[in-house]
Structure 1
Amino acid sequence: MSGEPQVQEEFEARLKAYEGRPAAATGVGRDPVNEPMIRHWCEAMGDTSPAYTGPDAIAPPTMLQAWTMAGLTRRPERTAAYDELLTLLDESGHDAVVATDCDQEYLRPLRPGDEITFDSVIESVSDRKTTKLGAGYFVTTRTDIRAGGELAGTHRFRILKYAPAHRPSRPAERRPRPVVNRDNAGFWEGVTRHELLIQRCTACGTLRFPWLPGCNGCGSPDWDTVEASGEGTVYSYVVLHHPPFPAFEPPYAVGLIELAEGVRIVSNVVGVPYDKVRIGMPVRLEFRRYDEELVLPVFQGVTP
């Protein structure tokens, strides 16, 4: 056996050693099974089944995982073993990840008031697989979900940890051009002068953004503009990781910025690491040139 296959074999043996080890231990659902979450789920899914309403309501079976989720915070019950496995894969170059599939088994219905507990185990780590994304390993976790101590269902979740396949370099691509029309041309003209202009209804004084042909407060078609001070805060944001898009380099943060004037604008948050952007973070307007034609308003994060 040559050295390289032996190294590969030893590495995969280290990965396999994590099979059967806990991924999350003694987890507790953040909320009991409850009617508001059931209602929101059904509205989002368009599910009007009468089984999910009324005094004998049950939760939709496909909500099984929802009762174990920790929101935007890291699950405190996640184990060191699971973190070690992911770190081992990251350090070996398999640092990209994509969720591939999940399957669920339902053993008893969940009803409003049920208290949820759960445990997860690293069920399997595959041999090295070659995919279009790149070569890597499928990691499957199994979560047993209980209600009042009784097993209610099982959720299996599979991810692929992979080393991205080499892609030939491509010439730099220009960022997409904004769509300029008769309703917003004045805004983009202001941007070229490094001015962020907000429409103001001359009938009722209401500020509006984005630009519209008439006031959505009083309906007047008459307006002028005021220049934004450039001060604002992050009202909400998302971080784009995937898929990659020409002329953009993920990950990057896109924020819904509330300006000091009270209107909101969507733009990139720059100048701070994407994972340091927070709701309520103060930001300051700047204008960034991306090529010989394109200037865009972006917002510089202001850290304490």
Structure 2
Amino acid sequence: MADYEWLSEVRSMVGREYGRIYAWDDVNPAMVRQWCEVMGIENPLYTDPDYAATTEFGELVAPPAMLQAWCLEGLHMNNYPPGSTDENPYGVLKLIESHGYPAVVAVNSELSFERYLKMGEKLYYTTLVKDVSDEKTTGLGTGFFVTLIMSFHSVKAGGDEPVGELLFRVFKFRPAQAAKPAPAAKAEQPAARRPLPGISDDTRFFWEGCEAGELRIQHCKACNKLQHPPAPVCEHCHSFDLDYRVARGTGELYSFVVMHYPEVAPFDHPNPIGLIQLDEGVRLSAGLVGVDRSELKIGQRLKVEFETFDDQLTLPLFRPVSD
């Protein structure tokens, strides 16, 4: 059993109780409702005031399992309400870490409750360093089991009342050195290819047009209007009598985005994508080429050009042109 000199400082912390950490908010129905929604809890005792009024409590109460949630710091680390202690109750973990035990894993957590919490109660907890084990060796590595106990209280004018307790035990350890397997030979990865579009009877004319160097836009014979993307029925008059018209391929940049992440092969990155307002009045999205991304402007003139990828997919791309 190891007995390092620095362990005396660690053991001196055992039995020390650290000051109060207050809750940011009183126990309230909004947080209870949101917690129940996330956890899938449908007990009306927590969310239905009319039902709760018929119970032994006479009013809404909070789910006991929410106990720890009331005093959490929130999005930002160590962001506790005014009046909370400045002491670090986890200093014992930091001290062990500083002596070469960087890893941590939760071992067990046990909640116990004195009673249900009612709306409007103000909570705080204190932290007791209950125990630090001798050095132990496990499958994970070698280190120390540290047990902390958080005691939760409700602030009362006549004396604060205990409402529950959380026992939290972690293993602070130096990871075991696993034997490294011999690196496997890397299989040569095939070059990524552009994904192919799903082609149906309603869209085939568009893709065949791209192969022929034509920008084909769906046309309704009944109302003489254009629409894109193609559909089985006219979005204007609901006619099924559809064909297409060949657009001039000119228009202006209606909107755009420059995609930086995620980087997906085989697309270039950053990847500028535009929403183009064709001179015929319809809009379509397409890749932008020959552009300076810092100089993209809404309304700038564009013209279509067609490019074939992987010898199997021809796409309409748009390039800026002079007015």
CA deviations 1:32-60 (Å, max 9, x no partner) are: 11111111111111110111023311111
Distance in structure 1 (CA, Å) of the matches to 2:193 and 2:266: 13
Percent identity (aligned): 29
Q: Distance in 1 between the 2:87 and 2:14 partners?
A: 14
Is 1:169 the counterpart of 2:180 in the alignment? Answer: yes
Give me the TM-score of the superposition, normalised by structure 1: 0.58
| RMSD over equivalenced CA pairs, Å | 3.6
SS in 2 for 1:104: strand
Would you say the 8 A contact 2:19–2:85 is kept in 1?
yes
Task: State the Cα deviation string for residues 63-116 of structure 1 (Å, max 9, x = none).
Answer: 000011111231554664645422321121111112222101100111111111
Task: Write the mapping of 1:106-185 to structure 2, written as runs, cut at 5 A.
Answer: 106-148=113-155, 149-170=160-181, 171=183, 181-182=195-196
Letter of the 1:197 counterpart: P
Q: CA contact under 8 A between 2:89 and 2:127: conserved in structure 1?
A: no
* 1:209-240 Cα deviation digits (max 9, x unpaired): xxxxxxxxx9x8x4312479778xxxxxxxxx
Bigger Cα Rg: 2
8 Å CA contact 1:142, 1:154 repeated in 2: yes
- The count of residues paired between Structure 1 and Structure 2 equals 207
TM-superposed CA distance for 1:16, in Å, is 2.2
Q: State whether residues 30 and 68 of structure 1, in contact with CA within 8 Å, keep that contact through their aligned partners in structure 2.
A: yes
* Whole-angstrom CA distance in 2 between matches of 1:69 and 1:178: 46
User: What's the TM-score once normalised by structure 2's chain length?
Assistant: 0.55
Q: Aligned partners of 2:117, 2:141: CA distance in 1, in Å?
A: 40
Q: 1:135 to 1:142 in 2, by over 3 A?
A: same
Tell whether 2:73 aligns with 1:70.
yes
- Does residue 92 in structure 1 map to residue 99 in structure 2? yes
Instruction: Kindly report which structure 2 residues correspond to 1:51-70, keeping only aligned pairs within 5 A, or say none.
Output: 51-55=45-49, 56-70=59-73
Question: Given that residues 272 and 293 in structure 2 are in contact (C-alpha distance below 8 angstroms), is that contact kept between their aligned partners in structure 1?
Answer: no
Determine which of 80, 101, 104 is the counterpart of 2:108: 101
* Partner AA of 2:37 in structure 1: E
CA 181–140 in structure 1, closer or farther in 2 if over 3 Å, else same: farther
CA distance in 1 between counterparts of 2:36 and 2:135 reads 39
1:7-46 paired onto structure 2 within 5 Å: 8=3, 10-22=5-17, 24-46=18-40
Quote the residue 1:200 is aligned against.
Answer: 275
Contact 1:18 1:81 in 2 (8 A): no
Query: Structure 1 unaligned runs (5+)?
Result: 204-217, 232-259, 262-304
Shift of residue 190 of structure 1? 3.1
Cα pair distance change 1:86/1:224, threshold 3 Å: same
Q: 1: CA distance between counterparts of 2:105 and 2:132?
A: 15
The equivalent residue for 2:267 is 190
Give the match for residue 47 of structure 1: 41
Amino acid at match of 2:11: K
